[in-house]
Amino acid sequence: MKFRTRAIHIGSEPDSTGAVVPPIYLSTTFVQPGPGDWGAFDYSRSGNPTRARVEKTIADLEGAAGSLAFSSGMAATHCAMGLLESGSHVVAGCDMYGGTYRLLHKICNRNNITVTLVHADDAAAIAEAIRPETKMVWVESIGNPLMSVPDLEQISADIVMHSATKYFGGHSDCLAGALSAKTPELHRQLYFIQNATGGVIGGLEAFLLHRGIKTMELRVREQSKSALAIAQWLESHRSVARVLYPGLASHPHHQRAVRLMGDQFGGMVTFDVRGDIETAKRVCKATELFGLAVSCGAVESLIEQPATMSHASYDPAARAQAGICDTLVRISVGLEDPEDLIADLDRALGIAGGA
């Protein structure tokens, strides 16, 4: 079965009631057959029927041995970092989510874990940074906010992490994270950490996440189509100095993006406005359809300034090294009519009055 069919049916198999939509289990505990005699579920941190269903769907869509659902993307990331030990070294992409940067540099460092940042789209640089004590290479595909495209053919991932708050949930209304493991052994190790640390998703959120996944293929297809049209339009706009979007021929790794993603490149577009930090701020404040907010991947379009918002938790020096400059504006394209969105950006760019 194809992706969209699986997204709708795998994990939603009928239960004894015949419900087309499986029930929401809020129960924190489950009655057991006898002392020391465990049923399929015992306590909701260890396993919950609603969570189990969405984990099954995600594993199938990822082609993973198993998936785990968390209360946020950061809880998922933290669980994966639980595989590290004191003295471990991590090689990470320099344009990663600010919260991941913060976790590595301000929390994991307390356990004597060190990090080397490299440009994630440069496989040679990643290889060069690896040391004997390197336990993990962490890259974002696609990088954020610079839209870098790592060479995944060479990297070959063991774990896929999602902030399911974004495209998976898709409606800006549930925080969620997911880890998908390539092997049953890795899945077992991650499950052990998840159960021990407890960052699990709740039953209601698991339901909303599952509901969102059913339209994910439609949403991402449409968002990719609209984002490409908007990126192309931005590229020809006089107030825009540069557009970063993997679907544009001008993107440094466009060919790699085509190999990895085919003809859909997601709904995130970053661009550089002509002017200064204030110009970028004015653009972000002037839109009417795009909401001024961090996050991404939802039905409603959002706009933000990485330097002061999503990537404010970077050290200024690391931000400069990565190339996250003050004039960058990042948009997350939603499901509105692309003509309405272009009209909104056109007006905002006009009001902001770039150089």
Partner 1 sequence: MTSSSNPESELGFGTQSVHAGEARQKPNDAITDSICCASTYTFESTQSILDYLKENHDREEYGRYGNPNEKVVERKLAVLEGAEDAILYSSGMAAIVGLLMCKLSAGDEIIFFDQCYHRSREFCVKHLSRFGVVTHQVKTGDMGAMESAINSKTKMLVSESPTNPHLTVIDLEAFVAIGKRHGIETLIDSTLATPYNLKPIAWGVDYVWHSATKYMGGHNDLLAGVICGSKQKLEPVRKLRGILGSINSPHNMYLLERGLKTFALRMERHNHNGQRIAEFLESHPRVQRVYYPGLKSHPSHAFAKKTMKGFSGLITFLVKDADWKQTAAIIDKCKIPRIGPSLGGVESLIEQPMVMSYFDYPIEQREQFGIYDNMIRMAVGIEDTDDLIEDLRQALEAC
Ligand X SMILES: Cc1ncc(COP(=O)(O)O)c(C=O)c1O
Using CB under 8 A, list all residues that contact partner 1.
1-5, 8-9, 12, 14, 18, 20-21, 171-173, 208, 211, 214-215, 218-219, 222, 288-289, 291, 293, 295, 298-300, 302, 334-337, 339-340
CB under 5 to 8 A by kind: which of ligand X, partner 1, none does 71 bind?
none
97 is a site residue for ligand X (CB under 6 A): yes
Binder of ligand X out of 12, 44, 50, 165 (CB under 6 A): 165
- HEC string of 236-295 equals CCCCEEEEECCCCCCCCCHHHHHHHHCCCCCCEEEEEECCCHHHHHHHHHHCCCCEECCC
- What's the min distance (Å) between Cβ of 210 and ligand X? 16
Binder of ligand X out of 69, 74, 79, 201 (CB under 6 A): 74
Calculate the alpha carbon distances from 154 to 85, 220, 276, 311 in Å: 25, 25, 38, 27
172 vs 327 by CB, closer to partner 1 = 172
- What's the min distance (Å) between Cβ of 184 and ligand X? 25
305 is a site residue for ligand X (CB under 6 A): no
DSSP 3-state of 215: coil
Separation between Cα atoms, residue 276 and residue 281, nearest integer Å: 9
CB under 5 to 8 A by kind: which of ligand X, partner 1, none does 83 bind?
none
194 is a site residue for ligand X (CB under 6 A): no
Calculate the alpha carbon distances from 126 to 78, 89, 162, 198 in Å: 22, 13, 21, 32
208 vs 273 by CB, closer to partner 1 = 208
Separation between Cα atoms, residue 117 and residue 90, nearest integer Å: 9
Separation between Cα atoms, residue 162 and residue 75, nearest integer Å: 11
User: Interface with ligand X by CB under 6 A: which residues?
Assistant: 72-74, 97, 99-100, 140, 144, 163, 165, 175, 177, 295
